[in-house]
Structures are given as structure tokens and as C-alpha cells.
Chains A and B, each alone.
Chain A
Amino acid sequence: MDKTLTTNKKRNMILNIAAIAVLIGMITFLQFNSADYTYQISTLERACCYMVVAVSMNLLTGFTGLFSLGQAGFMAIGAYVTAILTIPVESRPSVYYVDGISPVIANLEVPFFVALLIGGLAAAVIAALIGIPVLRLKSDYLAIATLGFSEIIRALISAPQFNRITNGSFGLKNIPGFPNLYVFFGIVALCIVLMVLLINSSYGRAFKAIREDEIAAQSMGINLFHYKELSFVISSFFTGVGGGLLAMFMRSIDSKTFQVALTYDILLIVVLGGIGSVTGSVLGSLLIIFGREWLRFFDEPLTVAGVNVPLFRTGFRMVVFSVLLMVVVLYYRRGLMGTTEFSWDGLFGWFKKLPSRFGKRTDRKKEDTK
């Protein structure tokens, strides 16, 4: 027993190292062949931006049991702060070509990682302010208030009154991209690792206690409001960083990018991956973003054996995605990973159990009520 455990541990260690090596190798390969794989790289980068936000939403929704729909708003804050701080000073006049730039920010340029950090902090500070009234209420109010908040942010960004800061309706462009792929993937990995460390710390355990039973958690001496606020602020920080990454990926942003649909995209990823599983969100974002690109043919007319299939036309892809979301919500509430995390033991166990799975499905309906 002990022996198998240590051999398993050893095996897992080796597999972990191998997996990381493969990832780094893949990134290196893409870096040196970037000209041939621009499309794949850009899809991957987009998936990674969403990944950071999805994991941060999971931190809040899956691990603390708070349902927020303000992702688009916090991303907008992160994106705009990052953009404003990184657009090269010399190209600013051409960006703010309508009303000019406010002298306060005209010469403020910082390296992009500082800008990302400030963007995340800005989102966190604003989250802290909204959290004070809203987190004391029942959870549905948090959803609707954060959704409303993200609309407020969008309105403020596009307001002509702030033209000299956000460039209002005209959007920001000339945002510098990433120097290379290592930096980008490094930042994404760092964000996710930090969140995983947090989840596995004593804070994370307090979050989970709140998720399972607020009243029980409170009677255990957990300060509900304190921990909820903490989770909300940290989640918003990473959402802001994710928004900043998205801005650097897109190189030009405007308020229309940050509509409610963006929040729904993230929600779809989190639900599909499994609410309460970080690896689920990671897999979910890769699956959804790549799936969308691969499934583009759903939108194009399809002829099978000379017969035009009437189903395939513009918009069909999104219908398929929304049906998928509904099926997952209704029948596979656990999503891809449920609340479990990916592990090598789990993977091998899954393979071992595979034959028996087809024989008899064990009902694992263990959902709690209300």
C-alpha cells in the first residue's frame, strides 16, 4: 500500500514535469514558428485571457458560492487602465484625435506589467466599494447589482464627458502587444497559480465553508462579510488583470467589447468546466474558444451529397452553444470536472474504470438541496 503510494507519487511528479516541459516546448515551438501559426496563436491567447477571468469567476462562484455577473465591467476597468498606461506617449495625440488627452495622463507611461497590476488593483478597489452594500444581501442581489454595475462602467467609459481620458466613443488603439509568448503565458500561469495557492490556503477553506453553509460557517467563527468581501475583491483583481491581458491581446478596445455577452461567455466556460474546479475552467476556456473557431462551419451553408442542409446558416453556431449550455445545466450539472480537480491518479483511475462505465452507470446524484 505504502509502496504503491510512493511509486504513484513519483510517477505523478515525473508526469508533472513532463507536462510542463511539453507545454514550454509547445510555446517555444509556436514562438519560433509564429509566422505560420498566427491564427492558432491568437486563438490560444484569447482562450488564455478568458481563462484567467474564468478561474477568477470560479474563485468567487465555485469556491465562495457568490454569484457575480460583473465580469465584463471589471475587465473593462482593467483593460482601460492598462491601455491608458501603456499606449506610447508619442502616439497618444493620434489616439486622442478628437478632444485631445487630459494633461493628467498625457505623459504617464509605465511598463506593461506595472500597468496590468494597476489595472487589477483599480478593479479590486472598485469591487471593494460595491461589495460593502451588496455583499450583506442575499446572493441574487449580488448578481443583479454586479450586472448593473458593469452596465454603469460601460456607460461611464463611453460618456463624452470623459472623452479626454477614455476617448469615449472612439476607443483606444495602439496598445502595445506582448514582447513574446513566454511573457504572456508566464503571466497567465502566474495568475492561475496564485489563485490556486489562495484556494488551498486557510482563506480558501474559509471560502468553501461559506459556500457549503453560511450559517454553519458563521457559527464556526468565520466573519462572513470579511471573507466574502475578500473573495470578491481578489476575484475582481484577477478579472481586471484578465481584462488588461485582453486589451493587450486586442491592441485596440472600445466600450462595446465589454458588453453583458462577454460575462455570459465567461459563465458558459465556468459552467461547462465545472463550478468549483480550476482545471475545469482551464479546460473549459480552451474548449469553448477553440470550439468556436472550429465550429465556424456551422455558420456556413453545408451541402451533403448535393443537398443543401437547411440548418446550417449564420447564427447556428451560437444556437448550438446555447443548447450545449442548457444541456449541461439541466443534465450534467457537474460540468466537465464537477468540483474535482484534474490529477494523474484521477486520469488513470478514469481509464481503468472506463470498461465498467459503459456497463453500468453509477448514479452520482449527490447534489445538495437549496
Chain B
Amino acid sequence: MNTTLFLQQCLTGISLGGAYALIAIGYTLVYGILRLINFAHGDIFMMAGYFMIFAMAVFPWYVSIPIVLIATVILGVLIERTAYKPLRSAPRMSVMISAIGVSYLLQNLATYLFTALPKGYPEIPILKKIYNFGGISASLVTFLTPVITIVLVFLLLQLIGHTKVGMAMRAVSKDYETAQLMGIRIDRTISFTFAVGSLLAGVGSILYFTDRMTVFPFSGSLPGLKCFVAAVIGGIGSIPGAVVGGFILGIGETVLVAMGYSTFSDAFTFILLIIMLLIRPTGIFGEKVTDKV
């Protein structure tokens, strides 16, 4: 393997990792608060892709992006309100099945509305401009993805650490019932969490699909699962953990494919998960939790 190829593959891996990280944060936030694997998160990401196609058909890209982000946030909050809120006091398994149900519904709905054939993702001219650095060739979005990811994560950490609503989120994730007793409006905080997660999924979707150019009803399912694994590896509930996990998966996967083991690129993610669960179930950044009796 020569240097150019190595650098090219590194760039691919980091860019993929950035997109994974943005989605993984959504999982981590929701799991931190509701102890729920939001299986529908990957499909929210897919729907954001379709929103962009329809928005771009009418508006220029700088109008479309905010529209898509708002639509994605609304979708995320709507799902929380209709599918998860009624089950607050239900057993955890029911909530998880509900999440799978939403994911199944979104995929089938997308197949029904937009057909199973892939749709071309609209090009944002600035992002698609191709740059060349001594043999390495990539579009701007590839370079930009990790940068945007880092900036957004920084902003998110500020939000959680230094604002009132951030404090509420932390309180709810620490102890659900006590937070309620302390006068925190649980439902509103949870909705806000879903809104933040969906917003990041929306940004991730724009970056991911601009780089990959087609959307189809199942394009969210596998990235979704992988990002959940990324969140687990980083330590579920920890935002820096999700980012690190995202990059580990993105780079690891690319390295594996580059070495000629593309067959196992998906399997790699899950093997990593099982290894992690064996040696450190709380993940890299996770705190040790003991179950209350």
C-alpha cells in the first residue's frame, strides 16, 4: 500500500466516521434518558434524505437545508410523542418493540411513498466540488464532514453543560423520578432530547447522502445499527464516547475493506461489539453503573 492510497483511505474512513458520530449521538442521548434503543433513529436519518430530495426540487440548497432540518426535528418529536410517550410506564420490552415497529413502519411507508428504487440525492454544488491534493481526490463534503462533526459536538457539550435545559437533561438521565419530583418537566425534556438527536441525524444525513448520492427506503437501517454499536463502544450515554465510537467504526471499516476483507466489513462492527461487551460492557467512556434493587 502506497502513501497516496493510504491517505485516500484515511480520508474516506474519517469522513465516514464523522457521519457515524453524528448519528451515534442521537442514540446515546435517547438511551441516556429513556434507556431505550431508538431503532427508528436510522430511519429518521433515511427520511431526512427523502425530505432533502423534495425540498431541493423546489428550493435552492440554502433554503432547503433549514427546511429539511426542521422537518426532521418535527418527525423525531412526533415519533416520540405518538410511539414512546404512551408507553412511559410500560415494560421496557414493549417500548423496544414499539421502536422496532416505528422503524418497520417508516421503511414500509418510504417504500410505499417513494418506491423501493433508489432516488438520486440532489447535489449541493459547493459541497460536491472536487479537490485534488497530489493524487488524493475527494469532494469538499468529504473534508468537511469531520470538521462539522467536531464543531457540532462542541456546541452540544456547551448546551448540555451550561444551559438550563441541558441541566434538566442531565438530571432526567441521572434519576428519572427524582428529577420529576424536583419540578423538571419530564415530557418536555424528553421531547427536547429527541429534537436534538433528530437535528444531528438531519445534519448527518445531508453530509452522508451528499457523499453517497442515493437514498432508498433501507439506507437508514444498517448505518443506524452500526451507529448504535458505535454508541455502545464509546460508552452509552457519553457524547464524547459516541464520537470516538463513530470514528473507530468508520476508520476500522474502511481499513478492513482496503485490506480486501469487504465481506466482513459489516460483521466487523458486531464482532467489535461482542468483544467490547465481553471485556468492558460499559464502553470506553462509560461509568460503571450498578443496578438498583
Co-complex (A, B): yes
Instruction: Please report A residues at the B interface, Cβ cutoff 8 Å.
Output: 61, 65, 67, 130, 133-134, 137-141, 143-145, 147-149, 151-152, 155-156, 158-161, 215, 260, 264, 267-268, 271, 275, 313-316, 318-319, 321-323, 325-326, 329-330, 333, 367-370
Contact A145 B274 (CB under 8 A): yes
Interface size class for chain B?
Answer: 35 or more
How far, in Å, is A154 (CB) from chain B's closest CB? 8
Write the B86-128 contact mask toward A (1 if CB under 8 angstroms, else 0).
1101111110111011101101110111011000000000000
Query: Is B263 at the interface (CB under 8 A from chain A)?
Result: yes
Q: Which DSSP category, helix, strand, loop or mixed, fits chain A's interface?
A: helix
Q: Determine the distance from Cα of A325 to Cα of B91 in the docked complex, in whole angstroms.
A: 17
Indicate if B19 sits at the interface (CB-CB under 8 A): no
Query: Are A159 and B83 in contact, with the CB atoms below 8 A?
Result: no
Q: Please, which residues of chain A bring their CB within 8 A of the CB of B266?
A: 151-152, 155
Binds A, one of B145-153, B194-202, B225-233: B225-233
Instruction: A316 to B110: give the CA distance in the assembly, Å.
Output: 10
Residues of A within 8 A of B92 (CB): 139-140, 370
B114–chain A nearest beta-carbon distance, Å: 9
Closest 7 CB pairs of A and B: A148-B270, A315-B112, A322-B105, A318-B108, A155-B267, A152-B267, A159-B263
B271, A152: Cβ atoms closer than 8 Å = yes
Cβ-defined partner of B115 (8 Å) among A149, A152, A314: A314
- Which residues of chain B have C-beta atoms less than 8 A from A268's C-beta? 104
Q: Is B166 an interface residue, CB under 8 A from the partner?
A: no
Contacting residue for A159 out of B90, B97, B264, B269, CB 8 A:
B264
Given A133-B277, A155-B264, A160-B263, are A321 and B108 neighbors across the interface (CB < 8 Å)?
yes
B90 touches A322 (CB 8 A): no
**How far does the Cβ of A129 sit from chain B's closest Cβ, in whole Å?**
10
Determine the distance from Cα of A367 to Cα of B112 in the docked complex, in whole angstroms: 35
Residues of A within 8 A of B93 (CB): 61, 65, 67, 139, 275
Q: Cα distance A133–B112 when bound, in Å?
A: 40
Contact residues in A for B105 (Cβ distance below 8 Å): 319, 322-323, 325-326
Question: Contacts of B82 on A, CB cut-off 8 Å?
Answer: 330
Min C-beta distance of A363 to chain B, whole Å? 15
CA distance A9 to B104 in the complex (A): 44
Minimum CB distance partner of A322 in chain B: B105
B109 touches A144 (CB 8 A): no
- Give A137 to B90 CA distance when docked, in angstroms: 21
B138 within 8 A of A: no
Binding site for A on B (CB under 8 A): 35, 37, 82-83, 86-87, 89-94, 96-98, 100-102, 104-105, 107-109, 111-113, 115-116, 221, 225, 228-229, 232, 263-264, 266-267, 269-271, 273-274, 277-278, 281, 291, 293
Within the complex, what minimum Cβ distance (angstroms) separates B78 from chain A? Answer: 13
Do A330 and B86 touch across chains, with their CB atoms under 8 A apart?
yes
Q: Which A residues touch B229, using CB under 8 A?
A: 144, 148
How far apart sit A206 and B211, CA to CA, in the bound complex (Å)? 52
Q: Is the CB of B263 within 8 A of A133?
A: no
A67 proximity list for chain B (CB < 8 A): 93, 96
A201 to chain B, nearest CB (A): 24
Least Cβ–Cβ distance between A153 and chain B, in angstroms: 9
Asked whether, in the complex, the Cβ of B115 is within 8 Å of the Cβ of A315, the reply is yes
Q: Given the complex of chains A and B, what is the CA–CA distance between A134 and B116 in angstroms? A: 35
Q: Is the CB of B108 within 8 A of A322?
A: yes
Partner of B98 from the list A152, A314, A321, A326 (CB cut-off 8 Å) is A326
Report the bound CA distance from A155 to B274 in whole Å: 16
Select one of B35, B270, B293 contacting A145, CB under 8 A: B270
Among A155, A264, A275, find the residue whose CB has the most chain B CB atoms closer than 10 A: A155
Distance to closest chain A CB from B253 (angstroms): 12
Determine if B91 and A367 form an interchain contact, defined as CB atoms under 8 angstroms apart. Answer: yes
> A329 with B264: in contact, given A147-B225, A315-B115, A323-B105 (CB under 8 Å)?
no
Q: Nearest Cβ distance between residue A36 and chain B, in whole angstroms?
A: 34
Question: Does the CB pair A369–B89 fall under 8 Å?
Answer: yes
Q: Which residues of B contact A140 (CB under 8 A)?
A: 35, 37, 92, 96
**Contact of B277 with A329 in the complex, beta carbons under 8 Å:** no
Tell me the complex Cα distance, A86–B263, Å.
27
**Contact present for A148 and B273 (CB under 8 Å):** yes
For A323, what are the chain B residues with a Cβ–Cβ distance below 8 Å?
105
